[in-house]
Chain A
Amino acid sequence: MGHLIIAGSGIKAGAHMTLETKSWIESADVVLYLAAEPVTEHQIRSLNQNTKSLFECYRDRENRFTAYRRMIDAALQAVEEYPLVCVVFYGHPGVFVYPSFRMMQEARRRGHLARMLPAISADSCLYADLEIDPARDGCQSFEATDFLVHDRQFDSRSLLILWQIGMLCDASFRASSYANEKMAILVDMLCRFYPKNHRVIVYEGAQFALCEPKIHYCELRNLTVAPISPGSTLVVLPARRESVKASRLKELGLTREDIMIEPELRSL
């Protein structure tokens, strides 16, 4: 029986890899990894002598599902051959990482042990860099294409995070860049719920400790010309805040003193 560990390297190279993850990488008989940049790749290879990159699973312009199937098969083959296999993904291995869950499911079905380790994801960085507490107004998070495909219902009074806007409506892997031709459709959809001049943020966490995160503020109507990369995330601030009803507080057994009344933040 093999043991499959699914881990994440975090967003900021070198800085975000947890001690727990480092220890599993060092202990593993083989490490499969998908790094978003070469510094993390170097770090992983310095921790274990037997490593293999999963980047080779990608083919330019091919549907990403096919590459993910190759990654799953590579992990399953490794866990049949080695007692302890560690697979390392960029960011958090369970946040917007389709193959990681399938690797664990299929490994367990074959009688192996499988476990995922937590890691730092892009939204962890986003809350810190943009100084947004997701608890303040609530937070809704969707994959951007999924948001359009399913016409997702959401509350514009809460924070809205749309992931992967840099590869909107494109299921293929692109070695160069993504066209983002469908951004206007996303803007039109959001304009049904927000004013056209509503401020939005295009965000990308810093990949290196010496670099700053990329934070671009713009009006919603100008999103089609905003600088968007494959790693960009769209943050839509709440449209408005509303007073709470005294009758609802009473019904819930709460008083005015139980809630914190704070003025609107104007800095964003």
Chain B
Amino acid sequence: MALTDFVIRLGTDAALLRHFNNNPDAAMEDAGLSDDERRILRDRDGREIIDVISTPRSAGPTMAGVTGVITAIGVDDDR
């Protein structure tokens, strides 16, 4: 859970994000992240972050957000 909290904090704490961008290893060491967690964040690969943090209740490999749907007032046969 430290990894998830750290990713959230990067989005809400500009000073921490700057620290991470300037010296990622120091920022992650300060946060107490494990070696594996540090490797994942060092790659800055969103897909890998999702795969590592995912639980069965969260999104799978595809985007789970809902979408717009196609609507029409009817369907006419081609003439």
Contacts and interface: CB of A to CB of B under 8 A. Distances in A.
Interface string B1-27: 100110111111000010011000000
A38 B47 CA distance: 11
Most interface-central of A38, A207, A211 (chain B CB within 10 A): A38
Given A55-B64, A64-B69, A98-B68, A208 B4 contact: no
A67 B76 CA distance: 27
Nearest to B65: A90
A98 B69 contact: yes
Nearest to A58: B64
A98 B66 contact: yes
Contact of B55 (A41, A68, A71): A41
Nearest to A65: B69
Contacts, number: 144
Given A65-B69, A68-B66, A89-B65, A38 B59 contact: yes
B67 to A, nearest CB: 6
Given A14-B10, A14-B11, A97-B66, A212 B60 contact: no
B49 interface: yes
A86 to B, nearest CB: 16
A35 B55 CA distance: 12
What class of interface size applies to chain B in its complex with A?
35 or more
Interface in B43-79: 44-46, 49-50, 53-55, 57-72
A216 interface: no
A100 B68 CA distance: 10
Nearest to B70: A146
A155 B63 CA distance: 31
A26 B30 CA distance: 29
B79 to A, nearest CB: 16
Interface SS of chain A: helix, strand, loop or mixed? loop
Interface string A189-221: 000000000000000001111111000000000
Contacts of A171: 69-70
Which of B41, B50, B53, B67 has most A Cβ within 10 Å? B67
Contacts of B49: 37, 39, 208, 211
Contacts of B5: 42
A122 B63 CA distance: 13
A12 interface: yes
B74 to A, nearest CB: 12
Given A14-B7, A14-B9, A37 B62 contact: no
Contact of B61 (A41, A150, A163, A176): A176
Q: Which of A64, A100, A176, A208 has the most CB of B within 10 A?
A: A208
Interface of B: 1, 4-5, 7-12, 17, 20-21, 41, 44-46, 49-50, 53-55, 57-72
> What are the nearest 5 A-B pairs in CB distance?
A15-B11, A14-B11, A14-B8, A90-B65, A96-B68
